[in-house]
Amino acid sequence: MTDMPDRRLLLVHAHPDDESINNGATMARYAAEGAHVTLVTCTLGERGEVIPPELGHLSGAALGGHRLAELKDAMGALGVADFRLLGGAGRYCDSGMMGLPDNDDPACFWRADVDQAAGLLAEVIREVRPHVLVTYDDNGGYGHPDHIQAHRVAMRAVELAAGTGWDIPKVYWNRVPRSVADASFARLHADLPGLPFERAATVDDVPGVVPDEQVTTAIDGTAHAAAKAAAMRAHATQITVAEPYFVLSNALAQPLFTTEYYELVRGERPEERENDLFAGLVPGEAS
């Protein structure tokens, strides 16, 4: 890359749609502010459950190709031009939910050699030289094998890149404060009779919910709520949106968060909650 912006953000996700649900408002905000935003997606989500009946025939490689097209549309909605598949499209396939026979497919991401996959990601890190990396916690947010593996690969890639040319100053994991989740679900239950969804999820269905004090950073993306909703709608095989709520294939309504939350796990932990992923970094000092 040449003429790199002073702020560079890299996000590592397991499947198309994860980025829009977890970080869509954050991505849209920083892209609009002129930061360089890079997304690396580890699989095409070939084993995802398809919601619209008219697309129910899609599976395997055909579904993966369709979800790649959805990802392109979602990135257009968020204003993100730099998005990549780890190792190229089809290098690693979706592993399915934990405990299924799909986990045993030697081509699936869950079975990937972590150092090899991390080496591929480290190449991106050395090229892009991000100041901030965002990914999942060590449980992948909710225990999906591809999310857990994305965490392992991302954290190992940070180590590899630090030893071979680029030390990422700040690494964050996706989080949701318990108080925010509780309040959002209380509103959801009050609003449910007027929604096109029959049932609500629970707080336990939301990935990454932790005690409030564990959250270090809150990114207010309310000005980019429409962009996030549009990006989520672009993933039509996986998500149905009725702002400010959505459902996945389980048909259980969840809140659509436009303020997105994080825990800083690499870098100096702030005394008070940050409102900027780049807080504490001097523009240009590490470029």
pLDDT tens profile 24-80: 999 999 999 999 999 999 999 999 999 999 999 999 999 999 999 999 999 999 999
The reply, when asked if residue 147 is annotated as ligand binding, is yes
Mean pLDDT, residues 232-259 taken together: 98
- The region, left, alpha or beta by phi > 0 then psi within -120 to 50, assigned to residue 170 is beta
- Annotated domain spans of the chain: 6-176+207-225+258-264
Closest CA to 91 of 159, 155, 149, 160: 149
The CATH code belonging to domain 6-176+207-225+258-264 is: 3.40.50.10320
Mean pLDDT, residues 154-177 taken together: 97
Tell if the pTM clears 0.85, that is, is over it: yes
Per-residue pLDDT for 282 more than 90? Answer: no
The reply, when asked if residue 224 is annotated as ligand binding, is no
From first CA to last CA, the distance across the chain in angstroms is 11
Per-residue pLDDT for 284 more than 90? Answer: no
Q: Where are the alpha helices (DSSP H) in the chain?
A: 18-32, 60-78, 114-128, 145-163, 178-191, 225-234
Per-residue pLDDT for 283 more than 80? Answer: no
What confidence tier does 286 reach under pLDDT thresholds 50, 70, 90? very low
Residues paired with residue 199 on neighbouring β-strands, in sequence order: 252
Per-residue model confidence (pLDDT) at position 5: 80
